[in-house]
Structure 1
Amino acid sequence: MPAITTKEYHKCCGGEVRRATFTSQTLGGEAAFSLFLPKQALAGRNVPVIYVLAGLTCTEETFLIKANAVRHAAQHGLALVCSDTSPRGAGVPTITDEWDIGPGAGYYVNATAAPWQARYRMWDFVRSELPTTVENAFPLDGARRGVMGHSMGGMGALALALREPGLYQSASMFAPICNPSAVPWGEKATQLYFGGDSHLWDAYDPCRLLASGHEFPGGFLVDQGLDDPFLKSQLHPDALENAARKAGQALKLRRHEGYDHSYWFVQSFIAEHIRHHAEQLNHTQVNHTQAPRETTP
């Protein structure tokens, strides 16, 4: 297992928050994550864990700083693990004048086109390497995992739950990109990460996954603000709702007047999301303890 280096440590809500790094074989360099451990974990008990995927331009710190989630996770005895959103550092390809591609915008996919394919393997990182590494190092119960995401991370959380229902027992999203193959952000990623082959979105697009027979038994909780500036152009919750209805997938999609895409929106409903995960994870019995090591869609 790679050695974990703690960069920051803070006492918080009876537990502790850490920002840490390790050398990732998947990403070919240093990978960053943030972690909240509740007091039960500090006492040596294995606790349920929610893996959190943030959105475009975010880092591993954004969710723990802005979402007001820690106090609610502490109340339910849940750990939070927050991934960075892309590879970073020396040798990572980038486009300096674009904010929605490259560093900060990994889309939780495995790139297939040069020069991105060597380092941009965020799907394998969040699915396998990150949980394997942190569950080996900290008292986290690999049989009780949830996945949560915001925006680009909501798309990733949907895809992970649909493709890997044995790895996660609860799932929720804020303002997810529901149909990435059909929106401008996804089209840009298609050209660069997939070399223009839109069929490669089949492995990551929640609507396409539902149409091809994937399902998540735990059901989804999704919140969407109706004053979100990206609602009509990029997010397409109606497409997710229609795909879920056709597939028979349990989906609770809540629309909220006046709310936008920001973390003020996330803060407003985070308590209900944490409770949603706690109710499912604290009653789950699954016979697995760690993620598979490798996958290539």
Structure 2
Amino acid sequence: VALMQISSNKCFGGLQKVFEHDSVEMNCKMKFAVYLPPKAESEKCPALYWLSGLTCTEQNFISKSGYHQAASEHGLVIAPDTSPRGYNSKGEDESWDFGTGAGFYVDTTEDPWKTNYRMYSYVMEELPQLINANFPVESQRMSIFGHSMGDHGALICALKNPGKYKSVVNSSVASLFAFISCSRKSL
């Protein structure tokens, strides 16, 4: 799958990038952000997946959280969008808590949503495959965390897949500490 780079900005010696790609799971274009720390130029790094909350995009965490300094010392941070956008299904924008911006990190089972709202499969399968194929990631050293709706997504992903993640945390402050401990070579 081809990645199209949308942006790249230097930050704490690393690079904050945003990409877009044609998603098989979501049946539309999807965006995700990835922070590459300075050491990613020469070695594989642990990866932390951040799942944003209701109505957010991949931009919320990367522009509001201030995580870059900690990540510059420890590893990659990946932040996908929260739902498919722009496929114009009837009713997707009628409510702020259902549809666009509200993917809830689950795979829907009812029409018309089941074709595009497959956030669980996207986060668990398609996105990690893209990340592992295109970035210097230690695939055995992944962690996941989120905020609000992303808390739900992180817990669902971790509980349904025991052993896949080194840590799962649903508090933003505690998550940075989990990321730091995940990045240590002794784990």
Same fold by TM-score greater than 0.5: yes
Aligned 8 A contact 1:169 1:284 in 2: no
Please state whether the residue corresponding to 1:125 is helix, strand or coil.
Answer: helix
> How far did 1:67 drift?
1.0
Deviates more, 1:133-142 or 1:50-59: 133-142
Q: How has the CA–CA distance of structure 1 residues 47 and 30 changed in structure 2, closer, same or farther, with 3 Å as cutoff?
A: same
Aligned 8 A contact 1:53 1:82 in 2: yes
CA distance in 2: counterparts of 1:120 and 1:67, whole angstroms? 26
- Superposed CA deviations along residues 46-72 of structure 1, whole A, max 9, x for unmatched, are 000000100000001111111111111
Aligned 8 A contact 2:142 2:165 in 1: yes
Please state whether the residue corresponding to 1:16 is helix, strand or coil.
Answer: strand
Pairing partner for 1:114 from 92, 107, 111: 111
> How far did 1:11 drift?
0.4
Partner residue, 1:18: 17
Pairing partner for 1:60 from 58, 61, 74: 58
Identify the structure with bigger relative contact order (alpha carbons < 8 Å, sequence gap 6+).
2
> How far did 1:93 drift?
4.6
CA distance in 1: counterparts of 2:28 and 2:34, whole angstroms? 20
Give the counterpart letter for 2:7 in structure 1.
Answer: E
CA distance in 2: counterparts of 1:56 and 1:103, whole angstroms? 9
Gaps in structure 2 of 5+ consecutive residues: none
Give the counterpart letter for 2:65 in structure 1.
Answer: A
> Structure 2 length as normaliser, TM-score?
0.94
Q: How has the CA–CA distance of structure 1 residues 93 and 84 changed in structure 2, closer, same or farther, with 3 Å as cutoff?
A: farther
Aligned 8 A contact 2:147 2:170 in 1: yes
CA distance in 1: counterparts of 2:91 and 2:133, whole angstroms? 32
Alignment partner of 1:90 is 2:87: yes
Give the counterpart letter for 2:180 in structure 1.
Answer: A
Aligned 8 A contact 1:144 1:282 in 2: no
Gaps in structure 1 of 5+ consecutive residues: 175-265, 286-297
The percentage of counterpart residues that share the same residue type is: 34
Give the counterpart letter for 1:55 in structure 2.
Answer: G
Give the counterpart letter for 1:69 in structure 2.
Answer: Y
Please state whether the residue corresponding to 1:157 is helix, strand or coil.
Answer: helix
CA distance in 1: counterparts of 2:89 and 2:184, whole angstroms? 39
CA distance in 2: counterparts of 1:102 and 1:127, whole angstroms? 20
Alignment partner of 1:170 is 2:72: no
Q: How has the CA–CA distance of structure 1 residues 44 and 283 changed in structure 2, closer, same or farther, with 3 Å as cutoff?
A: closer
CA distance in 2: counterparts of 1:27 and 1:78, whole angstroms? 27
Aligned residues, how many? 187
Aligned 8 A contact 2:93 2:100 in 1: no
Q: How has the CA–CA distance of structure 1 residues 35 and 92 changed in structure 2, closer, same or farther, with 3 Å as cutoff?
A: farther
CA distance in 2: counterparts of 1:5 and 1:95, whole angstroms? 26
Give the counterpart letter for 1:23 in structure 2.
Answer: D
**4+ residue runs of structure 1 moved beyond 6 angstroms?**
none
Please state whether the residue corresponding to 1:74 is helix, strand or coil.
Answer: helix
> How far did 1:91 drift?
4.2
> How far did 1:274 drift?
1.5
- Superposed CA deviations along residues 266-288 of structure 1, whole A, max 9, x for unmatched, are 5xx3xx42222221342466xxx
Q: How has the CA–CA distance of structure 1 residues 93 and 154 changed in structure 2, closer, same or farther, with 3 Å as cutoff?
A: farther
Please state whether the residue corresponding to 2:95 is helix, strand or coil.
Answer: coil
CA distance in 2: counterparts of 1:142 and 1:105, whole angstroms? 28
Q: Larger Cα Rg: Structure 1 or Structure 2? A: 1
Aligned 8 A contact 2:46 2:182 in 1: no
CA distance in 2: counterparts of 1:284 and 1:167, whole angstroms? 17
Structure richer in strand, relative to its length: 2
Please state whether the residue corresponding to 2:164 is helix, strand or coil.
Answer: coil
Q: How has the CA–CA distance of structure 1 residues 123 and 169 changed in structure 2, closer, same or farther, with 3 Å as cutoff?
A: same
Please state whether the residue corresponding to 2:77 is helix, strand or coil.
Answer: strand
Give the counterpart letter for 1:60 in structure 2.
Answer: E
> How far did 1:92 drift?
4.1
RMSD: 1.5
